[in-house]
Every structure is written in structure tokens, then in C-alpha cells.
Amino acid sequence: MRKLFVLVSAILLIGILAACSGNDSASGNSGDGEGSGESKVIKAGIGLNQDHPQYKGLLKFKEIVEEKTDGAITVDTYHSGQLGDDRSMMEALQLGTQEVVIPSTAPVANFVKEFSVFDIPFLFPNEEVADKVLAGETAQGLLDKLEEQNLVGLSYWENGFRDLTNSKRAVASMEDFEGLKIRTMENDLHLDAFKELGANPTPMAFTELFTALQQGTVDGQENPYATIYLQKFYEVQDHVSNTHHIYSPFVFMMSKSFYDGLTEEQQTIVREAAVEAGEHERKLNREANEKYLKELQEEGMTYTEITPEARQEMVEAVQPVIDEYKSKIGEETVDAIYQEIEDAKE
């Protein structure tokens, strides 16, 4: 009886091992899921961490692409700047050593200057208007312009309205900006706007930011609440104000050499997946930005509300910078976006 039991167990074990090894070869990177050629791998990297809605959106993209291509394309995801900062990841896309990155528009403007139109302070009045304009002709046309840089812009995702944090004082008005060392994204328009507000700005890659705040290299930074909370900036920052000075879109982009090597059907799949995953990300991001202001206060940060009068003062202070940058960005693009904002408000 005992011998029979051992024999049956051994047969079962062999069966299980055989089934497992069969699964391995079917889902391995070398199988294409369609029975012809190698599987294509998308290496996708972002600067934010694994808890941020941006990463959850990226996982959604992975799920859709892998399912719809039946495994012919696999997506390997990297967060927290594991593959580098936004600029170096964009350069890796140009070289064809990385396939996807999703930066804010600010660093993208170093590749296609017109993207800086979204870095104009106080441009969008609310998310609904931003949604309409980003789906509109001018914004979609800017995605096409990335091709000149060997990049393919597939969709806009959302980073959101940026708010100021710092470790020195509660910021309620322009005077409170005086001399604050603020990290900005690597974009001249951001830099000049913060100078105009009275701050002492320093451009820096996001990957260096936490350490710079911790070591006091800078006093503060600006990002949406979701980022401030999920990146644990509250551990090294004491004050947050709802400056809402810029609405940052993310740009989902792909390496052109990789995109060109896809079949037409696969190109459609990645395009649609970038849009669908973006809708998912936008929804999660809005929930997060709504929820985390309260949590930041629970973590001990003071929250200061900017009055409409104080915000108006800031709007007027940065106007000369906007006037100066209009021609640098491209008058046509700036005028078109302003017009589309007016239309979207109706």
C-alpha cells in the first residue's frame, strides 16, 4: 500500500514538473506568442516610484499590450529612475536602447521647444479644460512633432497641478517666496518664472530631489500632492501651499526605431494602449491628488491656502516672463493653445 502511494506521488510530481516546464517555454521572452520570430521587449522607465498612479498606469499599459499581442510584445517596467532621469531616458529612446518613457512636458521642451507652452504659469484654469485642450488639435500636433527627434508621442497622461513645499516658512503670498531656494524641473521658463516670483531657483533632475531636500541643498520644490506624499517629501519638508501655479501633463513616448519596427497591427495596439492606460492613470491620479493633501497635514505639514488676491499678484508678476517666452516657444502655438482654452471654457 505504502509502495503504491510512493509510486502514485512520484508520477504526480513528474506530471507537475512537466506541466511547469511547458508553461515556462510558452511565456518566456523568446516565444513570440504567434509562432514566428523573437518576442519584442519594451523597456519602460519613469522617475516616480512604484506607488504613484503613473506606475499603475504603466502596469495597465503592460497588461493591455501583452494581452492584445498575445505575448508577442512584453513590457518590462522600471520606476524610481532605475533607468535614469527623464532627460537621459529620452536620449536612450533616441539611441534605441530604451523603448518607453513618460516625462513631464518641462524636460520634453528641451527636445521640442513648443512643449513649453504647457509650462506657462497659470495657463489652465482646471483639469476639465486641460483635458479638452490636450485632446485638441494643437496638443496632438505637438505629439507628432516629436518624430523630428526620433521619438513617437503616443498620448498625454496627467501629472497635475503643481504646489509648493519648503522647509523654511509657510508661503501665503509673493513676499514669502523671497530668497527661497527652490528646485525646478530642467526648463528655462520654470526657472525664470520662479526668479520673477522672488525665489532662488535651481534646476535639477527629479532623481536627485529627495537627497537635495534632505541635505538642505534646496529649501523646497513644487509637485502635485500625490508626488509630495508618495515620494515621502513630507519627511523633509514642513510647509505646503496650494499655489497650483502650473498644470503638468505627462507625455507618453516611444523610441521611433522601435515603433517603426512594429507591424501595423502592433502599432495600433501600442497607440490604443497608451491612450487607454492614460485614462486609467488620470482617474487614479485625480483620486490621489484629492486624497493626499489631508494626509500631508496628518504627517505634520502646515497647509497654507493662497487667496485669489495673492494668486493674482503672482499671475501679474510672471506676465513679463510669459511675454518674453511667447516668441521662444512659437507665437502660433501659444496663440492656438490660448484660443483652445477659451473655447474649452464655454
Binding stretches for ligand KDG (CB under 6 A): 46-48, 54, 86, 102-104, 159, 185, 206, 223, 248
Residue number with CB closer to ligand KDG (165 or 333): 165
With a CB cutoff of 8 Å and minimum separation 6, the contacts of 39 are 28, 29, 30, 31, 32, 33, 71, 72, 73, 74
C-alpha grid cell for residue 105? 512636458
Residue number with CB closer to ligand KDG (71 or 160): 160
Least spacing, CB of residue 212 vs ligand KDG, in Å:
12
Least spacing, CB of residue 120 vs ligand KDG, in Å:
16
Beta strands in 204-309 (DSSP E): 220-223, 239-241, 247-255, 302-304
Least spacing, CB of residue 90 vs ligand KDG, in Å:
11
Residue number with CB closer to ligand KDG (85 or 340): 85
Residue, CB closest to ligand KDG: 47
Helix, strand, or coil here: 161?
strand
Residue number with CB closer to ligand KDG (103 or 278): 103
Residue number with CB closer to ligand KDG (46 or 73): 46
Least spacing, CB of residue 296 vs ligand KDG, in Å:
16
Least spacing, CB of residue 116 vs ligand KDG, in Å:
14
The label of the residue with cell 506568442 reads 33
Cα angle 332, 337, 342 (rounded to 5 degrees) comes to 125
Task: Give the helix/strand (H/E) hosting 152.
Answer: strand 151-161
Residue number with CB closer to ligand KDG (292 or 310): 292
Least spacing, CB of residue 259 vs ligand KDG, in Å:
20
Least spacing, CB of residue 302 vs ligand KDG, in Å:
22
C-alpha grid cell for residue 84? 535614469
Q: Is 244 left (phi over 0), alpha (psi -120 to 50) or beta?
A: left
With a CB cutoff of 8 Å and minimum separation 6, the contacts of 255 are 92, 93, 94, 96, 98, 99, 100, 150, 151, 152
Rounded alpha-carbon distances, angstroms, from residue 117 to 28, 312, 337? 44, 20, 8
Beta strands in 162-262 (DSSP E): 163-166, 181-184, 200-203, 220-223, 239-241, 247-255
Burial 18-50 (b: 16+ CB within 10 A, else e): eeeeeeeeeeeeebbeeeeeebbebbbbbbbbe
Q: Cα–Cα distance between 165 and 234 in angstroms, integer?
A: 9
With a CB cutoff of 8 Å and minimum separation 6, the contacts of 17 are none
Residue number with CB closer to ligand KDG (65 or 108): 108
Least spacing, CB of residue 94 vs ligand KDG, in Å:
17
Least spacing, CB of residue 35 vs ligand KDG, in Å:
36
Residue number with CB closer to ligand KDG (134 or 185): 185
Residue number with CB closer to ligand KDG (46 or 240): 46
